[in-house]
């Protein structure tokens, strides 16, 4: 499958320079980062969520996890992962698990974690499991107009206390 035509047209019409990165099919942004030889902190993953009856996209570093309590407080309703069928219906031109973070193309708001906001470039899936895009972060923010906030945590920080407790360390 190729990058969705609406995404390519959107980038071209808005004069956004981008690099298309082809790689073997991957099923997570962290694996994509590894395959592309890019640190997981520098690759964004897009997570399709529901909050009440609203759909939204969360964009965060591949090596991070969503803190659902924080995001729910920001959104004002309990945020949960979107069911696969609803995701397929809402993003019909994307492969399952490969939604790009361009919510404006699908009339869906985008929440971008602060951890990505200062990076000069952003790399993310392009709507397929085997293509990623690299664009300037300034262009991304200008085009998508995400709500930039803090709702993610480094994945290792979630399990670190449990590991320390298991080893008998005092925290």
Average pLDDT of the chain?
86
DSSP state of 3: P
Q: Residue 26 sits in which domain range?
A: 5-166
Contacts of residues 139-142 at CB distance under 8 Å and 24 or more positions apart, as own/partner, are 139/14, 139/16, 139/17, 140/101, 141/112, 141/117
What is the predicted pLDDT for the residue at 41?
A: 72
Number of domains in the chain: 1
- Residue 96 pLDDT > 90: no
pLDDT at 167: 43
Give the integer Cα–Cα distance in Å for 93 and 52: 24
| pLDDT at res. 81 | 96
83 occurs within a structural domain: yes
The CATH number of residue 21's host domain is 3.90.960.10
For residue 84, being part of any structural domain is answered with yes
Q: What tens digit of pLDDT does each residue of 121-164 get? A: 999 988 888 889 999 999 999 999 999 999 999 876 544 444 44
Q: State the DSSP H helix or E strand holding residue 123, giving kind and residue range, or none if neither.
A: strand 121-125
Asked if residue 34 belongs to a domain, the reply is yes
- Residue 171, in any domain of the structure: no
- The verdict on residue 62 lying in a domain is yes
Note the pLDDT of residue 10: 94
């Amino acid at each position: 499958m190729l990058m969705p035509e609406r995404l390519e047209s959107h980038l071209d019409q808005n004069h956004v320079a981008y690099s298309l990165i082809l790689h073997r099919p991957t099923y997570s942004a962290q694996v994509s980062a590894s395959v592309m030889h890019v640190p997981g902190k520098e690759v964004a993953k897009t997570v399709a969520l529901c909050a009440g009856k609203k759909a939204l996209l969360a964009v965060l570093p591949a090596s991070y996890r969503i803190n659902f309590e924080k995001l729910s407080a920001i959104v004002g309703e309990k945020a949960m992962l979107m069911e696969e069928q609803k995701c397929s219906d809402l993003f019909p031109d994307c492969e399952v698990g490969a939604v790009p973070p361009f919510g404006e193309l699908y009339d869906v708001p985008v929440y971008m974690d602060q951890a990505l906001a200062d990076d000069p470039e952003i790399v993310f899936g392009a709507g397929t499991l085997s293509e990623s895009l690299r664009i300037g972060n300034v262009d991304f923010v200008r085009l998508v107009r995400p709500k930039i906030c803090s709702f993610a945590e480094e994945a290792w920080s979630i399990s670190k206390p449990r590991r320390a407790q298991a080893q008998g360390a005092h925290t």
